[in-house]
Amino acid sequence: MPAADPAAVSELRLRWGGGGDDAGGASRLWIGVGALAHAAPRLEPWLAGRTVFVVAQPPVLEGHGAALDALTAAAGRRVDLPVPDGEAAKTVAVAGELWRAMLDAGGKRDSRLVTFGGGSAGDLGGFVAGCFLRGVEYVQVPTTLLAQVDAAIGGKTAVDLPGGKNTVGLFHHPRAVVADTALLASLPRGELRSGLVEVVKMAFFLDDALLRRVEDDLEDLLAGDAAALAPVVTAAAAAKIGVVESDVREGGRRRLLNFGHTLGHAVESALGYRGLRHGEAVAYGILFALRLAEARGPGWLDPAAGDRLRRLLARLELPPLPADALAVDDLVERLGRDKKARESGVVWVLPASAAAGGVEGRMVTEVGAGEVRRHLAAFLDDPFAPATPRSAGGGVL
Ligand SMILES: NC(=O)c1ccc[n+]([C@@H]2O[C@H](COP(=O)([O-])OP(=O)(O)OC[C@H]3O[C@@H](n4cnc5c(N)ncnc54)[C@H](O)[C@@H]3O)[C@@H](O)[C@H]2O)c1
Ligand SMILES: [Zn+2]
């Protein structure tokens, strides 16, 4: 673990809440190489004399436990709560076990909780913190790129039910997010790629300089270079904070973050959450959204913008889309079942070239099922091909 270099650690803040009985507040974010060491003295008063429960993924605890020790040293007592690795952690049963263990260990309303791991541990830990004794304060220490740029930011916590992902949860903002990019050096290339797709998703609409940086530094980023990752995580986190602050409860703008996720979720669920990582499925979802946007004809998305994104996604060397395991009718049916679908229909986030330059995301509900079906068939054949405007099966139904 490199020593903390203050110049390498960025400080951001996310303001949230207000309204109803929600008093509002702010989360602090420390991001960069050495963020853990940087955060330790700053969190000392928060931890001093308290019990801290650490909800951790065992491989992360094994590989990076020493880096966390410095952070939690100020606590009166530390109780580690290892959880199953990956999505298996996000169940009501695991949450129940943690609540019981916390009670047995003498947890109180002013005890502290720290999550240590990827988005799965973060989502579970935030949920457990949000419900335990009606809510204890917690800090997220995300250790995957996806969690550092996305899952740990915005206060959404959840566990899964057998019938659906993230079906039981609540908004519970962490007191702080400590995103140390030095931890990402051990992340497999596929996990880095998956997280980078979320970065690209945000950069495309919100931060052209970030998109250019990803294009320029792609090899270092995919290799887990902590110094190259630091400014990228900082800029992506800032972009997400901007969206979340303007739309805390996901009524409008926050849905832009769903770019690529409409089809991405359907593909993930059709594959039984195997074969493709989340970000990889989202990359295919982005390619499909590009196709729908391009098929809406001239004046919608500048072809150069679509090609640029396609070229970048191609450089990620995604695992191939298992088209044999995917069927058009099944995907269409899953699209309708998506948690984010409205009664008025499936909501697509489609990119459009903005009058002022750049690309904006537009929420579109009027894509007919027939149109989706026709494009899906062509997409499964060749996901990277652009749509030919309208004639490729467009037309308004
Ligand atoms: N709350 C939100 O707003 C939000 C947003 C996006 C995603 N999510 C959730 O995040 C979850 C996915 O998170 P994820 O992609 O981080 O996956 P994950 O938490 O399942 O972690 C993936 C793998 O990486 C390993 N790992 C973690 N840190 C490592 C490190 N530093 N070095 C080596 N290996 C490491 C883990 O042990 C695990 O095997 C999903 O459940 C998703 O629903 C939540
Ligand atoms: Zn995502």
pLDDT of 342 reads 64
Cβ of 147 closer than 6 Å to ligand 1, yes or no, is yes
Q: Which of 380, 376, 336, 383 is nearest to 393 (CA)?
A: 376
Ligand 1 pocket, residue 151 CB under 6 Å: yes
Q: Tell me if 184 sits within 8 A of 232, measured CB to CB.
A: no
User: Ligand 1 in contact with 234 (CB < 6 A)?
Assistant: no
Residue closest by Cα to atom 41 of ligand 1: 120
Look at residue 172 and tell me whether its pLDDT is greater than 70: yes
Please indicate whether residue 178, judged by its CB atom, sits closer than 6 Å to ligand 1.
Answer: no
395 pLDDT higher than 80: no
Q: Is 166 one of the annotated active-site residues of the chain?
A: no
For residue 138, the cross-strand partners are: 113
Q: Point out the catalytic residue in the list 278, 296, 310, 334.
A: 278
Per-residue pLDDT tens for 144-160? 999 999 999 999 999 99
Residue 140 makes CB contacts below 8 A (sequence gap 6+) with 114, 115, 122, 125, 126, 147, 152, 174, 176, 177, 178
Beta strands 359-364 and 348-353: pairing type?
A: antiparallel
28-42: pLDDT as tens digits: 999 999 999 999 999
The per-residue pLDDT for 17 is 78
From ligand 1's centre to the CA of 101, what distance in Å?
Answer: 23
CB 120 near ligand 1, within 6 Å: yes
Report the predicted TM-score, pTM, of the whole model to 2 decimal places. Answer: 0.94
pLDDT at position 256 is: 84
- The whole-number pLDDT of residue 392 equals 42
State the residue for tokens 């880096």. 67
Average the pLDDT over 259-271 and give the result: 96
Give per-residue pLDDT as tens, 33-91.
999 999 999 999 999 999 999 999 999 999 999 999 999 999 999 999 999 999 999 99
Burial class for 178, CB neighbours closer than 10 Å (0-12, 13-18, 19+): buried
337: pLDDT strictly greater than 90: no
Share of the chain above pLDDT 70, in %: 91
Of 265, 277, 296, 310, the catalytic one is 265
CB 26 within 8 A of CB 15: yes
Report the separation in Å between the CA atom of 381 and the middle of ligand 1, taken as the mean of its atom positions: 30
pLDDT in tens, 314-326: 999 999 999 899 9
Closest C-alpha to ligand 1, atom 16: 118
Query: Poorest-confidence range of 98-102, 181-185, 251-255, 262-266?
Result: 251-255
Q: Which atom of ligand 1 is nearest to the CA of 64?
A: 31
Weakest mean pLDDT among 20-34, 197-211, 288-302: 20-34
